[in-house]
Amino acid sequence: MKKILITGGAGFIGSHVVRRFVNQYPDYHIYNLDALTYAGNLENLRDVEDAANYTFVKGDITDAVFLDELFANTDFYGVVHLAAESHVDRSISDPLAFVVTNVIGTVNLLNAARKAWKDDLANRGATNRLFYHVSTDEVYGELHDPNEFFLETTSYDPRSPYSASKASSDHFVRAYHNTYKMPVVISNCSNNYGPNHFPEKLIPLMIHNIMQKKPLPVYGKGENVRDWLYVEDHARAIDTIFHRGKVGETYNIGGHNEWKNLDLVLLLCKIMDDKLGREPGTAESLITYVTDRAGHDLRYAIDATRLKTELGWEPSLQFEEGLEKTVDWYLENQAWLDNVTSGNYKKYYEEMY
């Protein structure tokens, strides 16, 4: 049985990746390593927690000794590394936390793999391992020309503490490939949305506030553009790249689905008024323009041609369909939402808005 370590598997995207790997690959044993920060939630994985090929390991990637022991005791065939601090606004108020988890945590993980895999790494041709780093399109900076897209060859130009930490971790992953022959692959994905998304991020925050008839805080004029991808499509892309991607390479993942923030919020308002049986315009009247995010990147847009032509991956869902599925999930899982918005979330929300 191949042992696969997935880090950050209790988070939003990680939980969808864990579920997919546990269900699709009964011949793999999936180890989900997660520190269960505010963003990690084992409720996200209730449906797979009893599977014979699944083990949860509570642990912190900033703890190098713990990682070395874990790798010494378990012969991992592959690592899919998602654990990170992931929210841009939090990186603006506490950049160091992002350096510690995203940069040092990633280097700790690379070091643990390097030590455990040293015999394989000594002979590049013989290695049968893979270290997969899940990264973001934000490393490429922002776009202004509407005809431009981020390619795998686009130069890095991170502009927030979050994206700077992810760019740095990408660089370390590539440096370990070059220097120590670590077999790596990196993917850089656009904005995800879907079930289990923590309500500090735009879409779940708006859904939560519409449910509660609270103001909908749109940063600046709502003109910033993001490219949205349904989270299960991202998990499928990760599966594809993990199994068929070329070692040492980078793959961009995106939805080819650009939306101005304001247009997205208006669409969400329409869908939710309809689903909640409210008068049209009820949710829209809650829109409130608030101070813009510092250094707010204008537009992200991914060109995922390489992934399509070389590995045959394409997004499966139209945005409206994905958004409806997402809204339905939140309406059916109010206990999940109540749970994650109680406690520390209230303090975070008061300080932010």
Q: Which entry of ligand NAD, ligand DAU, none binds 235, CB below 5 to 8 A by partner kind? A: none
Concerning whether 162 is annotated as a catalytic residue, the answer is yes
Q: In the chain, which ranges are continuous DSSP H helix? A: 12-24, 64-73, 88-93, 95-98, 105-116, 118-122, 161-180, 202-212, 231-244, 261-276, 305-311, 319-332, 334-340, 344-352
Q: Which entry of ligand NAD, ligand DAU, none binds 217, CB below 5 to 8 A by partner kind? A: ligand DAU
Query: Min. distance of Cβ 134 from ligand DAU in angstroms?
Result: 10
Is residue 230 classed as helix, strand or coil in its secondary structure?
strand
CA pair distance 137, 108, nearest whole angstrom: 23
CA 281 and chain centroid, separation: 32
Angle of helix 64-73 relative to helix 105-116, nearest 10 degrees, comes to 30
By the 8 A CB rule, do 40 and 101 touch?
no
CA pair distance 64, 78, nearest whole angstrom: 18
Q: Which entry of ligand NAD, ligand DAU, none binds 60, CB below 5 to 8 A by partner kind? A: ligand NAD
CA pair distance 31, 6, nearest whole angstrom: 6
**Residue 54 in the binding site for ligand DAU (CB under 6 A):** no
Residue 59, number of CB atoms within 10 A of its CB: 18
Concerning whether 249 is annotated as a catalytic residue, the answer is no
Q: Which is nearer to ligand NAD, 167 or 266 (CB)?
A: 167
Q: Which entry of ligand NAD, ligand DAU, none binds 91, CB below 5 to 8 A by partner kind? A: none
Candidates 18, 35, 82, 218: give the one binding ligand DAU (CB under 6 A): 218
CA pair distance 45, 346, nearest whole angstrom: 24
Among residues 60, 85, 138, 152, the one annotated as catalytic is: 138
Q: Which entry of ligand DAU, ligand NAD, none binds 261, CB below 5 to 8 A by partner kind? A: ligand DAU
Candidates 201, 214, 256, 306: give the one binding ligand DAU (CB under 6 A): 201
Torsion, Cα of 81, 82, 87, 90 (10° steps): -50
The contact pattern for ligand DAU, residues 219-258, with x = CB under 6 A and - = no contact, is: x----x-x--------------------------------
The residues in 21-80 that bind ligand NAD, with binding defined as CB under 6 A, are: 34-37, 39-40, 60-62
Rule CB under 6 A: which residues touch ligand NAD? Answer: 7-8, 10-14, 34-37, 39-40, 60-62, 82-84, 86, 101, 105, 134, 136, 166, 189, 191-192, 198
Catalytic residues: 137-138, 162
